[in-house]
Chains A and B, each alone.
Chain A
Amino acid sequence: MNEDIYYYNNKPLELSYSNGYSMGDKIEIVLKLENDFKSGMLSWSQMRWIIENARFGSYTCQKIVDKLIFDGKLKVNPITNNTRTFYKKPSAFDL
Protein backbone atom coordinates (compact mmCIF):
# COMPACT_ATOMS: atom_id res chain seq x y z
CA MET A 1 0.00 0.00 0.00
CA ASN A 2 1.41 3.38 -0.97
CA GLU A 3 1.91 5.83 1.86
CA ASP A 4 2.43 9.53 1.51
CA ILE A 5 4.75 11.23 3.93
CA TYR A 6 3.52 14.32 5.75
CA TYR A 7 6.06 17.13 5.95
CA TYR A 8 6.50 19.90 8.50
CA ASN A 9 9.11 22.55 7.57
CA ASN A 10 10.14 20.35 4.61
CA LYS A 11 10.99 17.47 6.95
CA PRO A 12 8.91 14.37 7.75
CA LEU A 13 7.04 14.51 11.04
CA GLU A 14 8.99 13.20 14.01
CA LEU A 15 7.84 10.48 16.39
CA SER A 16 5.19 11.30 18.97
CA TYR A 17 7.14 9.85 21.91
CA SER A 18 10.62 11.13 21.07
CA ASN A 19 10.88 14.41 19.21
CA GLY A 20 12.59 17.76 19.39
CA TYR A 21 9.51 19.92 18.92
CA SER A 22 8.93 22.87 21.21
CA MET A 23 5.50 23.74 22.61
CA GLY A 24 4.95 26.25 19.80
CA ASP A 25 5.89 23.73 17.13
CA LYS A 26 3.46 21.20 18.54
CA ILE A 27 0.55 23.65 18.54
CA GLU A 28 1.47 24.70 15.02
CA ILE A 29 1.51 21.09 13.78
CA VAL A 30 -1.92 20.38 15.27
CA LEU A 31 -3.37 23.56 13.73
CA LYS A 32 -1.71 22.76 10.40
CA LEU A 33 -3.17 19.26 10.36
CA GLU A 34 -6.68 20.54 11.08
CA ASN A 35 -6.36 23.32 8.52
CA ASP A 36 -5.02 20.94 5.86
CA PHE A 37 -7.86 18.50 6.44
CA LYS A 38 -10.48 21.24 6.17
CA SER A 39 -9.05 22.43 2.86
CA GLY A 40 -8.64 18.96 1.39
CA MET A 41 -4.85 18.84 1.46
CA LEU A 42 -4.54 15.96 3.93
CA SER A 43 -5.06 12.62 2.23
CA TRP A 44 -6.05 9.33 3.87
CA SER A 45 -2.68 7.84 2.93
CA GLN A 46 -0.90 10.64 4.78
CA MET A 47 -3.12 10.09 7.83
CA ARG A 48 -2.43 6.38 7.66
CA TRP A 49 1.31 7.08 7.58
CA ILE A 50 1.04 9.37 10.61
CA ILE A 51 -1.01 6.93 12.70
CA GLU A 52 0.74 3.68 11.80
CA ASN A 53 4.21 5.11 12.28
CA ALA A 54 3.23 6.84 15.56
CA ARG A 55 4.19 10.30 14.33
CA PHE A 56 3.37 13.48 16.21
CA GLY A 57 -0.21 14.44 15.35
CA SER A 58 -1.55 10.90 15.31
CA TYR A 59 -4.00 11.75 18.12
CA THR A 60 -5.35 14.68 16.07
CA CYS A 61 -5.82 12.42 13.03
CA GLN A 62 -7.60 9.80 15.12
CA LYS A 63 -9.93 12.46 16.52
CA ILE A 64 -10.70 13.72 12.99
CA VAL A 65 -11.62 10.20 11.81
CA ASP A 66 -13.67 9.50 14.94
CA LYS A 67 -15.65 12.71 14.55
CA LEU A 68 -16.57 11.82 10.97
CA ILE A 69 -17.74 8.36 12.05
CA PHE A 70 -19.76 9.71 15.01
CA ASP A 71 -21.45 12.26 12.73
CA GLY A 72 -22.41 9.51 10.28
CA LYS A 73 -20.33 10.88 7.43
CA LEU A 74 -18.15 7.78 7.33
CA LYS A 75 -19.30 4.18 7.78
CA VAL A 76 -15.91 2.49 7.55
CA ASN A 77 -12.75 3.68 9.23
CA PRO A 78 -10.39 4.43 6.30
CA ILE A 79 -7.28 3.82 8.40
CA THR A 80 -8.19 0.37 9.73
CA ASN A 81 -10.80 -0.62 7.10
CA ASN A 82 -13.35 -1.69 9.71
CA THR A 83 -16.27 -0.03 11.49
CA ARG A 84 -14.56 0.46 14.84
CA THR A 85 -13.56 3.89 16.11
CA PHE A 86 -10.27 4.72 17.81
CA TYR A 87 -11.93 6.10 20.95
CA LYS A 88 -15.42 5.65 22.38
CA LYS A 89 -18.06 8.30 21.94
CA PRO A 90 -18.05 10.79 24.83
CA SER A 91 -21.08 10.31 27.05
CA ALA A 92 -22.87 12.80 29.30
CA PHE A 93 -20.76 11.95 32.35
CA ASP A 94 -17.39 12.31 30.60
CA LEU A 95 -15.51 15.46 31.41
Chain B
Amino acid sequence: MEKAKKGFAMIPNQLIYDDRLSNEAKILFCYIKSLSSNYRNLRNSNLRTKLGCSINTLQNAKSELVKHGYLVIHRLSSANKYSLKLPNDYPKFKQSDYPKITQSDYPKFGEYYKSNNNNNNNNNNKGFKGFKKDKK
Protein backbone atom coordinates (compact mmCIF):
# COMPACT_ATOMS: atom_id res chain seq x y z
CA MET B 1 0.00 0.00 0.00
CA GLU B 2 2.91 2.34 0.74
CA LYS B 3 4.30 1.73 -2.73
CA ALA B 4 1.08 2.84 -4.39
CA LYS B 5 1.17 6.17 -2.56
CA LYS B 6 4.48 7.16 -4.12
CA GLY B 7 4.87 9.09 -7.34
CA PHE B 8 2.77 11.77 -8.96
CA ALA B 9 0.62 12.47 -11.98
CA MET B 10 0.40 15.60 -14.12
CA ILE B 11 -3.16 16.80 -14.61
CA PRO B 12 -3.86 19.48 -17.25
CA ASN B 13 -5.45 22.70 -16.04
CA GLN B 14 -7.82 22.57 -18.99
CA LEU B 15 -9.57 19.62 -17.35
CA ILE B 16 -9.59 21.10 -13.85
CA TYR B 17 -11.23 24.35 -14.92
CA ASP B 18 -13.70 22.74 -17.35
CA ASP B 19 -17.18 23.51 -15.98
CA ARG B 20 -18.94 21.08 -18.29
CA LEU B 21 -17.51 18.02 -16.51
CA SER B 22 -18.74 16.50 -13.26
CA ASN B 23 -16.49 15.62 -10.35
CA GLU B 24 -16.70 11.88 -11.08
CA ALA B 25 -15.53 12.45 -14.64
CA LYS B 26 -12.55 14.46 -13.42
CA ILE B 27 -11.64 11.79 -10.86
CA LEU B 28 -11.87 9.12 -13.54
CA PHE B 29 -9.53 11.12 -15.78
CA CYS B 30 -7.07 11.56 -12.89
CA TYR B 31 -7.10 7.85 -12.10
CA ILE B 32 -6.47 6.83 -15.71
CA LYS B 33 -3.75 9.48 -16.04
CA SER B 34 -1.97 8.14 -12.97
CA LEU B 35 -1.55 4.74 -14.69
CA SER B 36 1.21 4.02 -17.14
CA SER B 37 0.07 4.04 -20.76
CA ASN B 38 0.70 0.28 -21.10
CA TYR B 39 -1.55 -0.50 -18.14
CA ARG B 40 -4.71 1.27 -19.21
CA ASN B 41 -6.65 -1.88 -20.06
CA LEU B 42 -9.33 -1.69 -17.38
CA ARG B 43 -12.55 -3.46 -16.54
CA ASN B 44 -15.62 -1.70 -15.25
CA SER B 45 -15.56 -3.71 -12.02
CA ASN B 46 -12.01 -2.57 -11.25
CA LEU B 47 -12.87 1.04 -12.01
CA ARG B 48 -15.94 0.87 -9.77
CA THR B 49 -13.92 -0.38 -6.80
CA LYS B 50 -11.16 2.19 -7.34
CA LEU B 51 -13.53 5.14 -7.71
CA GLY B 52 -16.13 3.89 -5.24
CA CYS B 53 -19.18 4.59 -7.36
CA SER B 54 -22.01 2.70 -9.03
CA ILE B 55 -21.97 1.42 -12.60
CA ASN B 56 -24.41 4.11 -13.76
CA THR B 57 -22.21 6.89 -12.37
CA LEU B 58 -19.19 5.32 -14.02
CA GLN B 59 -20.94 5.10 -17.40
CA ASN B 60 -22.10 8.71 -17.12
CA ALA B 61 -18.58 9.88 -16.28
CA LYS B 62 -17.12 7.99 -19.23
CA SER B 63 -19.73 9.31 -21.66
CA GLU B 64 -19.06 12.88 -20.45
CA LEU B 65 -15.34 12.52 -21.05
CA VAL B 66 -15.88 10.98 -24.49
CA LYS B 67 -18.41 13.64 -25.46
CA HIS B 68 -16.09 16.51 -24.62
CA GLY B 69 -13.05 14.91 -26.25
CA TYR B 70 -10.96 13.90 -23.24
CA LEU B 71 -11.20 10.12 -23.55
CA VAL B 72 -11.05 7.56 -26.36
CA ILE B 73 -12.26 4.04 -25.60
CA HIS B 74 -10.92 1.15 -27.66
CA ARG B 75 -13.22 -1.84 -27.29
CA LEU B 76 -11.36 -5.07 -26.54
CA SER B 77 -12.66 -8.54 -25.72
CA SER B 78 -12.49 -8.64 -21.93
CA ALA B 79 -11.37 -5.16 -20.90
CA ASN B 80 -11.48 -1.80 -22.65
CA LYS B 81 -8.37 0.19 -23.46
CA TYR B 82 -8.52 3.87 -22.52
CA SER B 83 -6.43 6.60 -24.07
CA LEU B 84 -6.47 10.20 -22.95
CA LYS B 85 -6.21 13.37 -24.99
CA LEU B 86 -7.06 17.05 -24.79
CA PRO B 87 -9.84 18.61 -26.89
CA ASN B 88 -8.94 21.25 -29.46
CA ASP B 89 -10.23 24.63 -28.33
CA TYR B 90 -8.58 26.78 -30.96
CA PRO B 91 -10.48 27.65 -34.15
CA LYS B 92 -10.25 25.43 -37.20
CA PHE B 93 -7.91 26.62 -39.93
CA LYS B 94 -9.16 26.55 -43.50
CA GLN B 95 -7.18 26.19 -46.67
CA SER B 96 -9.04 29.18 -48.16
CA ASP B 97 -7.51 31.50 -45.51
CA TYR B 98 -4.10 31.17 -47.13
CA PRO B 99 -3.05 32.38 -50.59
CA LYS B 100 -2.41 29.66 -53.12
CA ILE B 101 1.27 29.51 -54.03
CA THR B 102 1.90 27.90 -57.37
CA GLN B 103 4.98 27.40 -59.44
CA SER B 104 4.03 30.21 -61.84
CA ASP B 105 4.60 32.82 -59.09
CA TYR B 106 8.33 32.13 -59.11
CA PRO B 107 10.63 33.43 -61.89
CA LYS B 108 11.13 31.02 -64.73
CA PHE B 109 14.46 29.36 -65.27
CA GLY B 110 15.49 31.42 -68.28
CA GLU B 111 14.39 34.76 -66.86
CA TYR B 112 16.37 34.26 -63.67
CA TYR B 113 19.63 33.66 -65.46
CA LYS B 114 19.02 36.47 -67.94
CA SER B 115 18.74 38.97 -65.11
CA ASN B 116 21.87 37.56 -63.47
CA ASN B 117 23.86 37.96 -66.65
CA ASN B 118 22.93 41.63 -66.85
CA ASN B 119 24.11 42.21 -63.30
CA ASN B 120 27.45 40.58 -64.00
CA ASN B 121 28.05 43.02 -66.83
CA ASN B 122 28.37 40.24 -69.39
CA ASN B 123 26.63 42.09 -72.13
CA ASN B 124 26.16 40.54 -75.50
CA ASN B 125 27.69 43.63 -77.08
CA LYS B 126 31.13 42.57 -75.92
CA GLY B 127 32.97 39.83 -77.75
CA PHE B 128 35.91 37.72 -76.71
CA LYS B 129 37.76 39.06 -73.60
CA GLY B 130 35.72 42.23 -73.61
CA PHE B 131 36.67 43.48 -77.07
CA LYS B 132 33.91 45.20 -78.89
CA LYS B 133 32.22 43.33 -81.64
CA ASP B 134 32.47 44.67 -85.15
CA LYS B 135 29.29 46.30 -86.28
CA LYS B 136 28.09 44.85 -89.54
Which residues in A have some Cβ–Cβ distance to B below 8 Å? 2, 4, 7, 10, 22-25, 27-28, 31-32, 35-36, 39-41, 43, 45
Contact = CB atoms under 8 A, between A and B. Distances in A.
B41 interface: no
Nearest to A25: B93
Contact of B12 (A7, A25, A40, A45): A40
Contacts of A35: 86
A35 to B, nearest CB: 7
B10 A40 contact: yes
Interface residues on B, range: 20 to 34
Interface of B: 10-14, 37-38, 72, 83-86, 88, 90, 92-95, 97-98
Given A39-B12, A41-B86, 18 more contacts: A2-B37, A23-B95, A23-B98, A24-B92, A24-B93, A25-B93, A28-B92, A28-B93, A31-B90, A32-B86, A32-B88, A36-B85, A36-B86, A39-B13, A39-B14, A39-B86, A40-B10, A41-B85
Nearest to A39: B12
Contact of A24 (B11, B83, B85, B97): B97
